[in-house]
Each structure stands twice: as structure tokens, then as C-alpha cells.
Structure 1
Amino acid sequence: MAVDITQKLKKLVISAKEKGHFVVEATAARLLDDPMSLDYQINVVGALHEVGTLKNVISPLWQALRTDQEKWAHRCCSRLLANDHDGWALAALLGLPSNTAVTAAKSLGWQVVSFRQAGRWDKAPLHIASMSLPSKPGIERMLVPLLELGWDSVSSELLDCVRARAVLLAEQTTHEGSLIGKGTMSNFCRASLPHGMWRSVSLPFEITEEDILPSHKFVGQ
């Protein structure tokens, strides 16, 4: 790692044990054994997010570990492509510039199938890119797997990330070049800032025409 955070990791091991955050204790101890492992670095950041650690606490680790944001994003997206339950890799994308994460995902074969916005009561809306691998013959009504990257429309900071094994669409059409429709997601995981991680075996999925943004507003195209 570019910055020596050995002492911080040692303190993290102790504090995590005291708080009963044993998964954080274990991942931090593993990183101490192999501080150059990118996967172990991602695991520590993801585990901290999973136990509800706030952004201002995780940010120093972001700065120390994510000195190569492109490499970090690519590894996270590689893990998300290969695994249905890697919430740590999903959470480790949070806080990155949106274009860095979108570019990494696209380099691995994900394609943007829909671009929309979601309003927030007291802040700028989120811009959300829904991504999937190209559909195969016979399963055109499925998005496999689904990756959604949502970012602050002003700062472009990633604030909300979703990964699902698949989306089965019951209704499907396009508007402004984006997919709209409804269906069901399986093996769903979501990570958000300032904190929060959720998992579910099955959840509804819907993108409406009113949500869609023109594709020219998408900086990742």
C-alpha cells in the first residue's frame, strides 16, 4: 500500500474486538499479515461499511488504500462479476468518482441498459446507471447479472450501489434509449452512503418512463 497504516490497522483490530465487530477484526488482522493484498484491502473497507461505520471514519482508509482508483474499481467490479454475495466489493466502490466505476465495469463487459434519476428530499438527485452483460439468445427478458451505480448528480460521488444475480422482466420496452419495465430481482445486495447494507433473496424491480434521463446527460458514455 502507498501509505503505511500499520498502526491504524492495529488499533482497528483492538477497537473492533471491543465493539464485537469480529468480521472487521478478522479482515484487519488478515490485512496486517499481507498489507499489499488488494482483496484484503477491499475486504476491510467493505466490512467496516457492513457494520455501519460512517463515511468520516472510513474516509482516511479510502485515502490511504485507494491511491490507484482505477485499479481498485476494476478489482471490485471483477469480484462482483464473479460472485453473487460479495457485499464487501460493492461497498468498497462507494465514494469513488462515478466515471471511474462505470469505466471499470464496462471494461469487464457490462453494458449500460438504462440511465435514470432518483429524487432525494433535501439533496441533489441521484443519477443511476443500470448495467448488465449482453443478453444471450433465449433469455432476452433477463438482466444477468445486474449492477446499478448511483451517484450524486452534482459531485459525481458514488453513493448507492446495487448488485443482483438476475432480473427477470415481466414487462419490457425502451424510452430515450433506456430500458423501462418491471420484474423481479434475485440475490439482491445494496450498499449506500452515509451507511447501510441490505440483502434479500428476492425483490421487485421497476424502472418507469418518468425516471429516465436522456443518454446525452450520462458522462460515462
Structure 2
Amino acid sequence: MAETKLSSFKDERWSLHGMTALVTGGTRGIGYAIAEELAEFGASVHICARKQEDVDKCLEEWKRKGFRITGSVCDVLSRDQRQNLMKNVASIFNGKLNILINNVGTSIPKNLIDYTAEDVSTIMGTNFESCYHLCQLAYPLLKASGYGSIVFISSIAGLKAFPLSSIYASSKGAMNQFTKNVALEWAKDNIRANAVAPGPIKTVLLDSFMVCMLC
């Protein structure tokens, strides 16, 4: 197995050995980095993505590094696929899950007046509804683990207005509020919820946004 980042006895407090984690959108960008970081600290990780070839490529890379990472195909926009994903996770991790990283996100940069109903459904469904539903599905697994942690990958756009991103920003704003409600309602079950709101990070999503900005 790959060496973890635990360099001394003092660092044992950061160990994730014995922990299980699900990272959505784990084959690229922020999700890829999170999955690898969790594995480096000793967690058993499952990732999902829309394309089998992307999953296979990443799993092969991680296998060479000795990481305990599995993966499966899931388009989180599909309710049925979300349910199948969580069934897979429950089977792989024996009915328990310690960490849920709601990372998947999408954006369709347009002026506010130009958004279609389909655009709104796609963005809100991918960025917000999927997170909401995955939390519901993961709840019994997180509770059964005795120690659950949910991390939502939000965005600074959920706190500050930017051009060409009104629906994307709204989805992240909804995520921010949802995080607070999850934290409030599930604290009694020893399940924590936090949102991380990054600024611009060079990923495929940012590249596509910048192209639209320059058009």
C-alpha cells in the first residue's frame, strides 16, 4: 500500500485508517484531488463519474500508487443512478459510511435572460438536488458508522455575484443553506456537515466558464 502522510506519532490524530468515504465526481479536478488525499491518509474511498473510461483510468492510476479506491458509473442528475450508487456503496462498505463528499457540479454560463427551463433543471438538479438526495440516501450509512461527516463543495459564487452565473450561484446558495439545516438536524446522530466555498480553481469547469467570458 502507498505510504500515508502520517510522519510521526503526533500526526496520528489525522489518520483516516478504518474510515470509508464517497466522493462524487472523483475523476477530475477538485474531486480527484480529494479522493487521492483521503486515500493518502488511509481511508477506503469510492468515487463515481459519468463515464466508465474516466473511472477506469483513475482507478488504474490509483492502483499503481497502492490506494484503496473503488469506483462506479453514476450520473448524479439521475435519481435512479443515485439510488444504485448508494446501494453499491452500502455493499462495498458493509452498510457504513464515514465521509460523504458532495463534489459534483456543473455550470452553463449565460446571461440571466438567456437561461432556458432545461438549463435551470440541469444546473439545479446536478448541483443541489443530487446533494440533497444523496444525503437522504447516505443518512442510515452515516448514522450506522457512529461518526459521519458530510462536506459540500460550494463556491464563492454562492456568496458573491459574478456575471454569467445566476443559476449556478443560486444552486450554491441553496447548498450553503442546506448545509446549515443538515448540521442542525443530524448533530444528534453524530453527523457533521460543512460547506467549502472555493474561489477560482483551474479545472475543466473553470476553463469552460472563462471561454464563455471571452466570447
TM over 0.5: no
Higher fraction of helix: 2
Higher fraction of strand: 1
Q: TM-score, normalised by structure 1?
A: 0.26
Which structure has more relative contact order (CA 8 Å, sep 6+)? It is: 2
Q: TM-score, normalised by structure 2?
A: 0.26
